[in-house]
Chains A and B, each alone.
Chain A
Amino acid sequence: MNENVMIICRCEEVTYHELVSTATKYKCSARELKLRTRAGMGYCGGRTCRTMVEKIAQSMGTNTPTETNISLKVQPPIRPVSFENLGRISK
Protein backbone atom coordinates (compact mmCIF):
# COMPACT_ATOMS: atom_id res chain seq x y z
CA MET A 1 0.00 0.00 0.00
CA ASN A 2 1.17 3.41 -0.95
CA GLU A 3 1.45 6.35 1.44
CA ASN A 4 -0.84 8.53 -0.68
CA VAL A 5 -3.92 6.34 -0.30
CA MET A 6 -3.41 5.95 3.45
CA ILE A 7 -6.49 7.12 5.36
CA ILE A 8 -5.97 9.94 7.85
CA CYS A 9 -9.56 10.82 8.80
CA ARG A 10 -11.30 7.51 9.32
CA CYS A 11 -14.82 8.88 9.75
CA GLU A 12 -14.83 10.86 6.51
CA GLU A 13 -12.26 8.64 4.73
CA VAL A 14 -9.90 11.45 3.81
CA THR A 15 -6.50 10.30 2.52
CA TYR A 16 -3.03 11.61 3.19
CA HIS A 17 -2.70 12.62 -0.44
CA GLU A 18 -5.93 14.61 -0.37
CA LEU A 19 -4.79 16.51 2.71
CA VAL A 20 -1.25 17.18 1.53
CA SER A 21 -2.30 18.23 -1.97
CA THR A 22 -5.05 20.50 -0.64
CA ALA A 23 -2.65 22.08 1.83
CA THR A 24 -0.08 22.60 -0.93
CA LYS A 25 -2.59 24.03 -3.39
CA TYR A 26 -4.34 26.49 -1.06
CA LYS A 27 -1.50 27.15 1.40
CA CYS A 28 -4.20 27.05 4.02
CA SER A 29 -4.61 26.98 7.79
CA ALA A 30 -5.59 23.82 9.65
CA ARG A 31 -9.13 25.13 9.89
CA GLU A 32 -9.42 25.75 6.17
CA LEU A 33 -7.85 22.36 5.47
CA LYS A 34 -10.52 20.77 7.63
CA LEU A 35 -13.35 22.65 5.93
CA ARG A 36 -12.05 21.88 2.41
CA THR A 37 -11.53 18.16 2.98
CA ARG A 38 -14.01 17.37 5.82
CA ALA A 39 -11.15 15.75 7.77
CA GLY A 40 -12.10 15.98 11.43
CA MET A 41 -15.76 16.72 10.72
CA GLY A 42 -17.12 13.20 11.08
CA TYR A 43 -18.65 11.08 13.78
CA CYS A 44 -15.78 11.22 16.26
CA GLY A 45 -15.39 14.99 15.97
CA GLY A 46 -11.71 14.81 15.08
CA ARG A 47 -10.57 12.89 18.13
CA THR A 48 -8.25 10.74 16.04
CA CYS A 49 -7.07 12.97 13.23
CA ARG A 50 -7.06 16.46 14.75
CA THR A 51 -3.35 16.44 15.56
CA MET A 52 -2.48 15.01 12.14
CA VAL A 53 -4.47 17.64 10.25
CA GLU A 54 -2.72 20.31 12.32
CA LYS A 55 0.70 18.82 11.59
CA ILE A 56 0.09 18.68 7.84
CA ALA A 57 -0.91 22.34 7.83
CA GLN A 58 2.15 23.14 9.92
CA SER A 59 4.49 21.26 7.60
CA MET A 60 3.39 23.57 4.78
CA GLY A 61 4.52 26.49 6.91
CA THR A 62 1.07 28.03 6.73
CA ASN A 63 -0.18 27.09 10.13
CA THR A 64 2.43 28.02 12.68
CA PRO A 65 0.78 27.01 15.92
CA THR A 66 0.18 30.12 17.92
CA GLU A 67 1.54 30.16 21.38
CA THR A 68 -1.78 30.78 23.01
CA ASN A 69 -4.28 29.23 20.66
CA ILE A 70 -5.32 25.74 19.75
CA SER A 71 -5.57 25.95 15.98
CA LEU A 72 -8.61 23.71 15.50
CA LYS A 73 -11.43 24.90 17.68
CA VAL A 74 -13.01 22.44 20.11
CA GLN A 75 -16.79 22.31 19.82
CA PRO A 76 -19.41 20.64 21.98
CA PRO A 77 -20.40 17.88 22.18
CA ILE A 78 -16.86 16.49 22.47
CA ARG A 79 -18.17 12.92 22.51
CA PRO A 80 -20.84 11.41 20.26
CA VAL A 81 -24.32 11.99 21.70
CA SER A 82 -27.51 10.29 20.52
CA PHE A 83 -30.09 12.53 18.85
CA GLU A 84 -32.54 11.72 21.60
CA ASN A 85 -30.17 12.97 24.28
CA LEU A 86 -28.95 15.90 22.23
CA GLY A 87 -32.54 17.09 22.09
CA ARG A 88 -32.83 16.80 25.83
CA ILE A 89 -29.65 18.84 26.40
CA SER A 90 -30.75 21.79 24.32
CA LYS A 91 -34.00 22.20 26.24
Chain B
Amino acid sequence: MFKAIIIGSGPAGLTAAITCAENGLDVLVIDEYMSAGGRLLGQLYEQPDGSWWNGLRESKNLYTTAISLGVKFHFNTSVNNIEKRNNRWVVYTEKGTFYTENLLLATGAAESPVPVPGWTLPGVMSVGAAQVMTNVHRVKPGKRGVIIGVNVLSSVIAMELHLAGVEIACLTLPKMNSIANKEGNPSQVLDSLLHVSHMATSPLIRYGSKLLKNDFIKNLGIHFYPKKGFKMWNTPIQLRKAVIEIYGKDEVEGVVVAAIKANGEVVPGSEERIQADFVCIAGGLYPLVELAALAGCPFFLVEELGGHVPLHSEKMETPLEGLFVAGNITGIEGAKVAAAQGRTAGLAMAIHSGIKGLDTEIRHSMDMVKQTRESADIQFHPEIEVGRKRILREWEISQTSKQNHEALMG
Protein backbone atom coordinates (compact mmCIF):
# COMPACT_ATOMS: atom_id res chain seq x y z
CA MET B 1 0.00 0.00 0.00
CA PHE B 2 1.35 3.40 -1.03
CA LYS B 3 -0.13 6.80 -0.14
CA ALA B 4 0.20 7.70 -3.80
CA ILE B 5 0.83 5.77 -7.01
CA ILE B 6 1.70 7.51 -10.24
CA ILE B 7 1.54 5.81 -13.63
CA GLY B 8 3.94 7.46 -16.06
CA SER B 9 7.29 9.07 -15.33
CA GLY B 10 7.12 11.88 -17.89
CA PRO B 11 7.33 15.53 -16.83
CA ALA B 12 3.79 15.37 -15.40
CA GLY B 13 4.31 12.18 -13.38
CA LEU B 14 7.75 13.13 -12.09
CA THR B 15 6.68 16.60 -10.98
CA ALA B 16 3.61 15.15 -9.26
CA ALA B 17 5.79 12.55 -7.51
CA ILE B 18 8.15 15.24 -6.24
CA THR B 19 5.22 17.36 -5.02
CA CYS B 20 3.59 14.41 -3.21
CA ALA B 21 6.89 13.44 -1.59
CA GLU B 22 7.59 17.03 -0.50
CA ASN B 23 4.30 16.89 1.34
CA GLY B 24 5.15 13.72 3.17
CA LEU B 25 3.42 11.08 1.04
CA ASP B 26 5.19 7.82 0.19
CA VAL B 27 5.06 7.51 -3.57
CA LEU B 28 5.48 4.76 -6.14
CA VAL B 29 6.02 5.66 -9.80
CA ILE B 30 5.43 2.96 -12.43
CA ASP B 31 6.63 3.27 -16.03
CA GLU B 32 6.94 0.74 -18.81
CA TYR B 33 10.03 2.45 -20.22
CA MET B 34 13.47 1.65 -18.82
CA SER B 35 14.19 5.12 -17.47
CA ALA B 36 12.47 8.27 -16.23
CA GLY B 37 11.46 11.19 -18.43
CA GLY B 38 8.78 9.96 -20.82
CA ARG B 39 8.62 12.00 -24.01
CA LEU B 40 10.75 14.66 -22.40
CA LEU B 41 13.81 12.46 -22.99
CA GLY B 42 13.83 13.03 -26.73
CA GLN B 43 13.39 16.79 -26.72
CA LEU B 44 16.30 18.91 -27.84
CA TYR B 45 15.77 22.28 -29.40
CA GLU B 46 16.62 25.94 -29.28
CA GLN B 47 14.07 28.07 -27.45
CA PRO B 48 12.99 31.50 -28.70
CA ASP B 49 15.29 33.15 -26.13
CA GLY B 50 18.27 31.33 -27.64
CA SER B 51 18.81 28.86 -24.80
CA TRP B 52 18.61 25.10 -25.38
CA TRP B 53 15.89 22.85 -24.07
CA ASN B 54 17.65 19.59 -23.30
CA GLY B 55 15.09 16.98 -22.31
CA LEU B 56 17.67 14.40 -21.22
CA ARG B 57 19.08 16.84 -18.68
CA GLU B 58 15.64 18.02 -17.50
CA SER B 59 14.59 14.40 -16.98
CA LYS B 60 17.70 13.57 -15.03
CA ASN B 61 17.21 16.57 -12.73
CA LEU B 62 13.60 15.63 -11.99
CA TYR B 63 14.50 11.99 -11.40
CA THR B 64 17.39 12.81 -9.04
CA THR B 65 15.18 15.16 -7.05
CA ALA B 66 12.47 12.48 -6.78
CA ILE B 67 14.99 9.86 -5.63
CA SER B 68 16.43 12.21 -3.02
CA LEU B 69 12.90 12.66 -1.63
CA GLY B 70 12.47 8.90 -1.31
CA VAL B 71 10.17 8.27 -4.29
CA LYS B 72 10.18 4.59 -5.37
CA PHE B 73 10.33 3.65 -9.06
CA HIS B 74 9.38 0.52 -10.98
CA PHE B 75 10.62 0.71 -14.57
CA ASN B 76 10.08 -1.80 -17.39
CA THR B 77 6.67 -2.34 -15.84
CA SER B 78 3.47 -1.93 -17.86
CA VAL B 79 0.21 -1.31 -16.07
CA ASN B 80 -2.30 -3.48 -17.87
CA ASN B 81 -5.41 -2.80 -15.81
CA ILE B 82 -6.71 -0.69 -12.95
CA GLU B 83 -9.90 -0.93 -10.94
CA LYS B 84 -11.46 0.33 -7.75
CA ARG B 85 -12.09 -2.23 -5.05
CA ASN B 86 -13.06 -1.61 -1.41
CA ASN B 87 -12.35 2.10 -1.77
CA ARG B 88 -8.84 1.50 -2.99
CA TRP B 89 -7.35 1.68 -6.46
CA VAL B 90 -5.83 -1.59 -7.57
CA VAL B 91 -3.01 -1.35 -10.12
CA TYR B 92 -2.18 -4.53 -12.06
CA THR B 93 1.22 -5.16 -13.61
CA GLU B 94 3.15 -8.28 -14.58
CA LYS B 95 5.46 -7.57 -11.66
CA GLY B 96 2.75 -7.46 -9.04
CA THR B 97 -0.41 -5.75 -7.89
CA PHE B 98 -0.27 -2.44 -6.06
CA TYR B 99 -2.82 -0.57 -3.94
CA THR B 100 -3.43 3.09 -3.16
CA GLU B 101 -6.07 5.65 -2.30
CA ASN B 102 -4.50 8.28 -4.56
CA LEU B 103 -3.84 7.24 -8.15
CA LEU B 104 -2.50 9.55 -10.84
CA LEU B 105 -2.67 8.70 -14.53
CA ALA B 106 0.13 10.56 -16.32
CA THR B 107 0.42 8.32 -19.37
CA GLY B 108 1.03 11.07 -21.92
CA ALA B 109 0.27 10.89 -25.62
CA ALA B 110 0.55 8.48 -28.53
CA GLU B 111 1.18 9.05 -32.22
CA SER B 112 -1.62 8.64 -34.75
CA PRO B 113 -0.62 6.29 -37.53
CA VAL B 114 -1.12 7.33 -41.16
CA PRO B 115 -0.92 4.34 -43.49
CA VAL B 116 0.97 4.63 -46.77
CA PRO B 117 1.42 1.72 -49.21
CA GLY B 118 4.67 -0.01 -48.25
CA TRP B 119 4.61 1.26 -44.67
CA THR B 120 5.21 -2.21 -43.24
CA LEU B 121 8.73 -2.36 -44.78
CA PRO B 122 11.66 -2.32 -42.35
CA GLY B 123 12.99 1.24 -42.19
CA VAL B 124 9.59 2.88 -41.81
CA MET B 125 9.00 4.33 -38.35
CA SER B 126 6.95 6.96 -36.58
CA VAL B 127 8.59 10.35 -36.36
CA GLY B 128 8.68 9.96 -32.56
CA ALA B 129 10.71 6.77 -32.94
CA ALA B 130 13.25 8.64 -35.05
CA GLN B 131 13.42 11.29 -32.30
CA VAL B 132 14.06 8.68 -29.61
CA MET B 133 16.70 6.86 -31.68
CA THR B 134 18.53 10.07 -32.47
CA ASN B 135 18.30 12.09 -29.27
CA VAL B 136 17.98 9.42 -26.58
CA HIS B 137 19.96 6.48 -27.93
CA ARG B 138 22.20 8.56 -30.20
CA VAL B 139 21.75 6.17 -33.11
CA LYS B 140 21.05 7.59 -36.56
CA PRO B 141 17.83 6.16 -38.00
CA GLY B 142 19.52 6.20 -41.43
CA LYS B 143 21.52 8.34 -43.80
CA ARG B 144 18.75 9.95 -45.79
CA GLY B 145 15.10 10.01 -44.81
CA VAL B 146 11.73 11.25 -45.96
CA ILE B 147 9.18 12.57 -43.45
CA ILE B 148 5.53 12.01 -44.34
CA GLY B 149 3.20 14.47 -42.60
CA VAL B 150 3.81 18.19 -42.16
CA ASN B 151 2.92 19.46 -38.68
CA VAL B 152 4.44 21.07 -35.60
CA LEU B 153 5.96 17.84 -34.30
CA SER B 154 7.45 16.71 -37.61
CA SER B 155 9.03 20.10 -38.24
CA VAL B 156 10.64 20.13 -34.79
CA ILE B 157 11.96 16.60 -35.27
CA ALA B 158 13.20 17.39 -38.81
CA MET B 159 15.31 20.14 -37.30
CA GLU B 160 16.64 17.76 -34.61
CA LEU B 161 17.57 15.19 -37.27
CA HIS B 162 19.29 17.88 -39.30
CA LEU B 163 21.33 18.90 -36.26
CA ALA B 164 22.34 15.28 -35.75
CA GLY B 165 23.71 15.18 -39.28
CA VAL B 166 20.94 13.08 -40.79
CA GLU B 167 19.83 14.24 -44.21
CA ILE B 168 16.09 14.68 -44.76
CA ALA B 169 15.27 14.52 -48.46
CA CYS B 170 11.94 16.23 -47.86
CA LEU B 171 8.91 16.71 -45.65
CA THR B 172 5.78 15.98 -47.58
CA LEU B 173 2.15 14.89 -47.25
CA PRO B 174 0.64 11.41 -47.30
CA LYS B 175 -1.70 10.64 -50.19
CA MET B 176 -5.28 11.22 -49.08
CA ASN B 177 -7.46 8.20 -48.30
CA SER B 178 -10.25 7.27 -45.89
CA ILE B 179 -7.82 7.50 -43.00
CA ALA B 180 -5.56 10.40 -43.99
CA ASN B 181 -8.07 12.98 -45.09
CA LYS B 182 -6.92 16.00 -43.13
CA GLU B 183 -3.21 15.13 -43.22
CA GLY B 184 -3.34 14.67 -46.99
CA ASN B 185 -5.16 17.87 -47.82
CA PRO B 186 -2.76 20.75 -48.60
CA SER B 187 -5.29 23.48 -47.84
CA GLN B 188 -6.05 22.04 -44.41
CA VAL B 189 -2.39 21.48 -43.62
CA LEU B 190 -1.49 25.02 -44.63
CA ASP B 191 -4.38 26.31 -42.57
CA SER B 192 -3.17 24.51 -39.45
CA LEU B 193 0.36 25.82 -39.98
CA LEU B 194 -0.99 29.33 -40.47
CA HIS B 195 -2.55 29.18 -37.03
CA VAL B 196 0.72 28.36 -35.31
CA SER B 197 2.64 31.04 -37.14
CA HIS B 198 3.22 33.02 -33.94
CA MET B 199 5.43 30.22 -32.69
CA ALA B 200 9.10 30.71 -33.11
CA THR B 201 10.38 27.29 -32.07
CA SER B 202 10.53 25.78 -35.47
CA PRO B 203 12.24 27.30 -38.47
CA LEU B 204 9.42 25.89 -40.56
CA ILE B 205 6.99 27.97 -38.62
CA ARG B 206 9.21 31.02 -38.72
CA TYR B 207 9.80 30.67 -42.40
CA GLY B 208 6.27 29.61 -43.08
CA SER B 209 4.79 32.56 -41.28
CA LYS B 210 7.04 34.91 -43.19
CA LEU B 211 5.78 33.35 -46.35
CA LEU B 212 2.21 33.60 -45.22
CA LYS B 213 2.47 37.21 -44.12
CA ASN B 214 2.97 38.01 -47.74
CA ASP B 215 -0.59 38.97 -48.72
CA PHE B 216 -0.17 37.83 -52.26
CA ILE B 217 0.60 34.30 -51.18
CA LYS B 218 -1.95 34.36 -48.39
CA ASN B 219 -4.75 35.49 -50.68
CA LEU B 220 -4.02 33.02 -53.35
CA GLY B 221 -3.31 30.50 -50.65
CA ILE B 222 -2.34 27.04 -51.47
CA HIS B 223 -2.97 27.38 -55.22
CA PHE B 224 0.23 29.33 -55.52
CA TYR B 225 2.21 27.43 -52.96
CA PRO B 226 5.61 27.11 -54.64
CA LYS B 227 5.69 23.95 -56.72
CA LYS B 228 9.18 23.24 -55.47
CA GLY B 229 8.12 23.87 -51.88
CA PHE B 230 10.27 26.01 -49.64
CA LYS B 231 13.34 25.02 -47.71
CA MET B 232 14.30 25.05 -44.07
CA TRP B 233 17.74 23.85 -43.02
CA ASN B 234 18.19 22.81 -46.63
CA THR B 235 15.18 20.51 -46.30
CA PRO B 236 12.38 21.02 -48.85
CA ILE B 237 8.87 21.22 -47.39
CA GLN B 238 6.41 20.05 -50.02
CA LEU B 239 2.73 20.76 -49.46
CA ARG B 240 1.82 20.16 -53.08
CA LYS B 241 3.26 16.67 -53.27
CA ALA B 242 2.28 13.45 -51.57
CA VAL B 243 3.93 10.09 -51.05
CA ILE B 244 1.88 7.51 -52.89
CA GLU B 245 4.15 4.58 -52.14
CA ILE B 246 7.17 3.54 -50.10
CA TYR B 247 9.24 1.10 -52.16
CA GLY B 248 12.02 -1.36 -51.48
CA LYS B 249 12.66 -5.08 -51.78
CA ASP B 250 13.51 -6.11 -48.22
CA GLU B 251 13.72 -2.66 -46.68
CA VAL B 252 13.08 0.98 -47.55
CA GLU B 253 14.86 2.07 -50.74
CA GLY B 254 12.83 5.18 -51.43
CA VAL B 255 9.41 6.73 -51.97
CA VAL B 256 7.28 7.61 -54.97
CA VAL B 257 5.85 11.12 -54.74
CA ALA B 258 3.27 12.72 -56.99
CA ALA B 259 2.04 16.27 -57.41
CA ILE B 260 -1.33 16.90 -55.78
CA LYS B 261 -4.01 19.51 -56.33
CA ALA B 262 -5.09 21.92 -53.60
CA ASN B 263 -7.79 19.44 -52.55
CA GLY B 264 -5.31 16.58 -52.28
CA GLU B 265 -6.12 14.84 -55.57
CA VAL B 266 -3.14 13.25 -57.29
CA VAL B 267 -2.11 14.67 -60.69
CA PRO B 268 -1.70 11.61 -62.94
CA GLY B 269 1.65 11.20 -64.63
CA SER B 270 3.51 13.41 -62.12
CA GLU B 271 5.12 10.56 -60.18
CA GLU B 272 8.81 10.69 -59.34
CA ARG B 273 11.12 8.62 -57.16
CA ILE B 274 13.10 9.90 -54.20
CA GLN B 275 15.81 7.66 -52.75
CA ALA B 276 15.90 7.20 -49.00
CA ASP B 277 16.94 4.52 -46.52
CA PHE B 278 14.35 5.40 -43.89
CA VAL B 279 10.89 6.95 -43.75
CA CYS B 280 9.16 8.69 -40.82
CA ILE B 281 5.41 8.93 -40.54
CA ALA B 282 4.00 11.89 -38.62
CA GLY B 283 0.26 11.70 -38.08
CA GLY B 284 0.01 13.89 -34.99
CA LEU B 285 -0.58 13.09 -31.32
CA TYR B 286 -3.59 12.03 -29.27
CA PRO B 287 -4.02 11.62 -25.48
CA LEU B 288 -3.27 8.09 -24.26
CA VAL B 289 -6.37 7.44 -22.20
CA GLU B 290 -6.67 3.64 -22.06
CA LEU B 291 -6.40 3.39 -18.29
CA ALA B 292 -8.92 6.19 -17.68
CA ALA B 293 -11.33 4.31 -19.96
CA LEU B 294 -10.84 1.08 -17.99
CA ALA B 295 -11.50 2.96 -14.75
CA GLY B 296 -14.85 4.11 -16.12
CA CYS B 297 -14.04 7.79 -16.33
CA PRO B 298 -16.45 9.91 -18.42
CA PHE B 299 -14.94 11.25 -21.67
CA PHE B 300 -15.38 14.22 -23.93
CA LEU B 301 -14.21 14.58 -27.49
CA VAL B 302 -12.35 17.88 -27.65
CA GLU B 303 -10.61 18.45 -30.99
CA GLU B 304 -8.42 21.24 -29.58
CA LEU B 305 -7.03 18.86 -26.95
CA GLY B 306 -6.22 16.18 -29.51
CA GLY B 307 -9.15 13.75 -29.10
CA HIS B 308 -11.10 12.09 -26.31
CA VAL B 309 -10.01 13.29 -22.88
CA PRO B 310 -11.17 12.18 -19.42
CA LEU B 311 -13.38 14.68 -17.61
CA HIS B 312 -11.29 16.53 -15.02
CA SER B 313 -11.23 19.65 -12.87
CA GLU B 314 -8.68 22.43 -12.80
CA LYS B 315 -7.26 20.64 -9.74
CA MET B 316 -6.73 17.60 -12.00
CA GLU B 317 -9.32 15.45 -10.17
CA THR B 318 -11.56 13.11 -12.15
CA PRO B 319 -15.16 12.43 -11.05
CA LEU B 320 -13.90 9.10 -9.63
CA GLU B 321 -12.75 9.58 -6.07
CA GLY B 322 -9.00 9.28 -5.63
CA LEU B 323 -8.29 9.21 -9.38
CA PHE B 324 -6.29 12.11 -10.83
CA VAL B 325 -4.93 12.94 -14.29
CA ALA B 326 -2.11 15.23 -15.46
CA GLY B 327 -0.06 15.95 -18.56
CA ASN B 328 -0.88 14.98 -22.11
CA ILE B 329 -3.59 12.51 -21.08
CA THR B 330 -5.66 15.68 -20.52
CA GLY B 331 -4.73 17.27 -23.87
CA ILE B 332 -1.69 17.65 -26.12
CA GLU B 333 0.68 20.39 -24.96
CA GLY B 334 4.39 20.90 -24.39
CA ALA B 335 6.46 19.46 -21.55
CA LYS B 336 6.43 22.60 -19.41
CA VAL B 337 2.64 22.66 -19.24
CA ALA B 338 2.62 18.94 -18.41
CA ALA B 339 5.02 19.55 -15.51
CA ALA B 340 2.93 22.46 -14.21
CA GLN B 341 -0.17 20.24 -14.28
CA GLY B 342 1.79 17.55 -12.46
CA ARG B 343 2.48 19.93 -9.60
CA THR B 344 -1.21 20.77 -9.27
CA ALA B 345 -2.13 17.09 -9.32
CA GLY B 346 0.48 16.32 -6.66
CA LEU B 347 -0.97 18.99 -4.38
CA ALA B 348 -4.52 17.75 -5.00
CA MET B 349 -3.42 14.23 -4.07
CA ALA B 350 -1.76 15.50 -0.88
CA ILE B 351 -4.94 17.38 0.04
CA HIS B 352 -7.06 14.31 -0.69
CA SER B 353 -4.87 12.21 1.56
CA GLY B 354 -5.57 14.61 4.44
CA ILE B 355 -2.68 17.10 4.39
CA LYS B 356 -3.93 20.52 5.51
CA GLY B 357 -2.90 24.04 4.63
CA LEU B 358 -2.25 23.62 0.91
CA ASP B 359 -5.13 25.75 -0.38
CA THR B 360 -3.07 28.81 -1.30
CA GLU B 361 -0.40 26.67 -2.84
CA ILE B 362 -2.76 24.77 -5.09
CA ARG B 363 -4.45 27.98 -6.23
CA HIS B 364 -1.06 29.39 -7.08
CA SER B 365 -0.17 26.20 -8.89
CA MET B 366 -3.35 26.38 -11.00
CA ASP B 367 -2.40 29.92 -12.01
CA MET B 368 1.05 28.69 -12.96
CA VAL B 369 -0.47 26.17 -15.36
CA LYS B 370 -2.25 29.01 -17.14
CA GLN B 371 0.82 31.22 -17.23
CA THR B 372 2.97 28.40 -18.55
CA ARG B 373 0.40 27.73 -21.25
CA GLU B 374 0.29 31.39 -22.30
CA SER B 375 4.05 31.63 -22.63
CA ALA B 376 4.56 28.16 -24.14
CA ASP B 377 7.04 28.07 -26.99
CA ILE B 378 5.49 24.96 -28.44
CA GLN B 379 1.77 24.69 -29.05
CA PHE B 380 0.19 21.72 -30.76
CA HIS B 381 -3.24 23.23 -31.35
CA PRO B 382 -3.86 26.94 -31.93
CA GLU B 383 -7.13 26.88 -29.97
CA ILE B 384 -5.85 25.02 -26.91
CA GLU B 385 -7.43 27.63 -24.63
CA VAL B 386 -10.89 26.94 -26.10
CA GLY B 387 -10.44 23.22 -25.45
CA ARG B 388 -9.37 23.79 -21.85
CA LYS B 389 -12.40 26.00 -21.19
CA ARG B 390 -14.69 23.43 -22.72
CA ILE B 391 -13.56 20.70 -20.30
CA LEU B 392 -13.81 23.01 -17.29
CA ARG B 393 -17.36 23.89 -18.29
CA GLU B 394 -18.24 20.20 -18.58
CA TRP B 395 -16.75 19.66 -15.14
CA GLU B 396 -18.88 22.44 -13.64
CA ILE B 397 -22.00 21.04 -15.28
CA SER B 398 -21.26 17.59 -13.88
CA GLN B 399 -20.64 19.00 -10.39
CA THR B 400 -23.89 20.97 -10.42
CA SER B 401 -25.93 17.98 -11.49
CA LYS B 402 -24.21 15.87 -8.85
CA GLN B 403 -25.13 18.42 -6.17
CA ASN B 404 -28.71 18.58 -7.40
CA HIS B 405 -28.90 14.82 -7.33
CA GLU B 406 -27.50 14.67 -3.82
CA ALA B 407 -29.97 17.35 -2.68
CA LEU B 408 -32.83 15.32 -4.13
CA MET B 409 -31.71 12.16 -2.46
CA GLY B 410 -31.52 14.07 0.85
A68 x B301 contact (CB < 8 A)? yes
B78 x A79 contact (CB < 8 A)? yes
Most B CB contacts (10 A, CB to CB) among A1, A7, A76 go to: A1
B301 x A77 contact (CB < 8 A)? no
B115 x A2 contact (CB < 8 A)? no
In the assembled complex, B177 has its CB within 8 A of some CB on chain A: yes
Closest Cβ of chain B to A17, distance in Å, is 11
- What 0/1 readout, one digit per residue, does chain A (64-80) give for beta carbons within 8 Å of chain B? 01111110011111110
How far apart sit A5 and B119, CA to CA, in the bound complex (Å)? 11
Closest Cβ of chain A to B380, distance in Å, is 16
Q: A55-B179, A68-B300 are in contact. Are A78 and B290 (CB under 8 A)?
A: yes
A78 x B112 contact (CB < 8 A)? no
How many chain A residues sit at the interface, stated as a range, is 35 or more
Partner of B94 from A55, A65, A69, A81 at Cβ < 8 Å: A81
A6 x B80 contact (CB < 8 A)? no
- What 0/1 readout, one digit per residue, does chain B (316-351) give for beta carbons within 8 Å of chain A? 000000000000000000000000000000000000
A3 x B298 contact (CB < 8 A)? no
A56 x B294 contact (CB < 8 A)? no
- What 0/1 readout, one digit per residue, does chain B (67-89) give for beta carbons within 8 Å of chain A? 00000000000111100000000
Residues of A contacting B289 in the complex (Cβ-Cβ under 8 angstroms): 70
In the assembled complex, B32 has its CB within 8 A of some CB on chain A: yes
Closest Cβ of chain B to A26, distance in Å, is 15
Most A CB contacts (10 A, CB to CB) among B92, B97, B178, B291 go to: B178
A56 x B178 contact (CB < 8 A)? yes
Closest Cβ of chain B to A87, distance in Å, is 12
- What 0/1 readout, one digit per residue, does chain B (233-246) give for beta carbons within 8 Å of chain A? 00000000000011
In the assembled complex, A41 has its CB within 8 A of some CB on chain B: no
How far apart sit A6 and B121, CA to CA, in the bound complex (Å)? 11
Closest Cβ of chain B to A56, distance in Å, is 5
Our count of residue pairs bridging A and B at CB distance below 8 angstroms stands at 86
User: 18 new A-B pairs (CB below 8 Å) besides A70-B289, A70-B308, A74-B293?
Assistant: A1-B246, A6-B116, A10-B120, A16-B115, A16-B177, A49-B113, A51-B112, A51-B286, A52-B115, A55-B179, A59-B178, A68-B301, A69-B299, A73-B293, A74-B294, A78-B81, A81-B80, A82-B94
How many chain B residues sit at the interface, stated as a range, is 35 or more
B117 x A1 contact (CB < 8 A)? yes
Residues of chain A having any CB pair with chain B under 8 Å: 1-3, 5-8, 10, 16, 20, 47-49, 51-52, 55-56, 59-60, 65-70, 73-79, 81-82, 85, 89
Q: Main secondary structure on chain A at its contact with chain B?
A: loop
- What 0/1 readout, one digit per residue, does chain B (299-319) give for beta carbons within 8 Å of chain A? 111000000100000000000
Closest Cβ of chain A to B244, distance in Å, is 8
Which residues 268-310 in B have Cβ within 8 Å of A in the complex?
286, 289-291, 293-294, 298-301, 308
How far apart sit A70 and B292, CA to CA, in the bound complex (Å)? 11
B120 x A7 contact (CB < 8 A)? yes
Closest Cβ of chain B to A69, distance in Å, is 7
How far apart sit A59 and B286, CA to CA, in the bound complex (Å)? 19
Residues of B contacting A20 in the complex (Cβ-Cβ under 8 angstroms): 178
Residues of B contacting A65 in the complex (Cβ-Cβ under 8 angstroms): 301
- What 0/1 readout, one digit per residue, does chain B (351-375) give for beta carbons within 8 Å of chain A? 0000000000000000000000000
Residues of B contacting A10 in the complex (Cβ-Cβ under 8 angstroms): 120
A68 x B116 contact (CB < 8 A)? no
Residues of A contacting B290 in the complex (Cβ-Cβ under 8 angstroms): 74, 78
